[in-house]
Amino acid sequence: AQSVTQLGSHVSVSEGALVLLRCNYSSSVPPYLFWYVQYPNQGLQLLLKYTSAATLVKGINGFEAEFKKSETSFHLTKPSAHMSDAAEYFCAVTVYSGGGADGLTFGKGTHLIIQP
Amino acid sequence: DAGVIQSPRHEVTEMGQEVTLRCKPISGHNSLFWYRQTMMRGLELLIYFNNNVPIDDSGMPEDRFSAKMPNASFSTLKIQPSEPRDSAVYFCASSLTWDQETQYFGPGTRLLVL
């Protein structure tokens, strides 16, 4: 079975500073990896996904992530944090089995705090 | 597109009562997923359907939980009887097909069992 570990339940950065949210995965077969964002009292919104194409993936709102197989990592970055980036971020993994994709396995989430 | 629609948005009930959560996937989407979110356990996959057929229900916590998808535009998640530990936010998500990885999430149903 696959799993995801997000390092740091809370990350605090200053507005304008680099955002780095860490995600490591475990999977016995090539994974598909995702970052979702959740704003308070809302559902999850897809930021970006890796599906075995380019290892550097660009998403919405200026976020990007790089798939590194050797490190089993899929860290999320943004060069300059904005106050509106404050939210909960989830890394997730799925694999193909039986001809289709399984449901997502999520990490515990990282709460991103932006300091003015 | 209206997105994934869930109802009710909030539900408060007493222990022992039956609870039914509803989900309408995005039109044309053939796969539907139910997740539960709690502080202790995070986001967990409960069950998912493809073309209205349950594919994997191994995440359903107990026999008190059941899910159905009678047609392509409607699914229910039922808890009977409900218990306080079922209190959580329940999310429904849909994807275009089983091999389309992007899942679109509804706003969730916040359930409180007293």
Convert the pLDDT of each residue in B21-41 to its tens digit: 999 999 999 899 999 999 888
Closest residue to A32, CB basis, from B50, B98, B101: B101
Mutation target vs B (from A10, A44, A57, A105; most B CBs, 10 A cutoff): A44
- Cβ distance A64 to A77 under 8 Å? yes
pLDDT of residue A98: 62
Stretch B6-35: mean pLDDT: 95
Encode pLDDT of B70-112 as tens digits: 999 999 999 999 999 999 999 999 988 766 568 899 999 999 9
A46 in B contact zone (CB under 8 Å): yes
Q: What residue in B sits closest to A33 (Cα-Cα)?
A: B101
Q: Is B86 helix (H, G, I), strand (E, B) or coil?
A: helix
Q: What pLDDT, on the 0 to 100 scale, is given for residue B98?
A: 61
Q: E strand or H helix at B10, and its extent?
A: strand B10-13
Alpha-carbon span B92 to A73, nearest angstrom: 27
Contact B22, B34 (CB under 8 A): no
A59 CB within 8 Å of a chain B CB: no
Q: Give the number of other Cβ atoms within 10 Å of residue B71's Cβ.
A: 8
What is the full per-residue pLDDT of chain A (116 aa) written as tens digits?
A: 889 999 999 999 999 999 999 999 998 888 889 999 999 888 899 999 998 778 999 999 999 999 999 999 999 999 999 999 999 999 999 887 665 667 889 999 999 999 99
Q: Which residues of chain A have a CB within 8 Å of the CB of B91?
A: 43-44
Residue B85 in 3-state DSSP? Answer: helix
Q: Between chains, do A42 and B100 touch, taking CB under 8 Å as contact?
A: no
For B84, other C-beta atoms within 10 Å of its C-beta total 10
Size of interface A-B (CB pairs under 8 A): 60
pLDDT at B89: 96
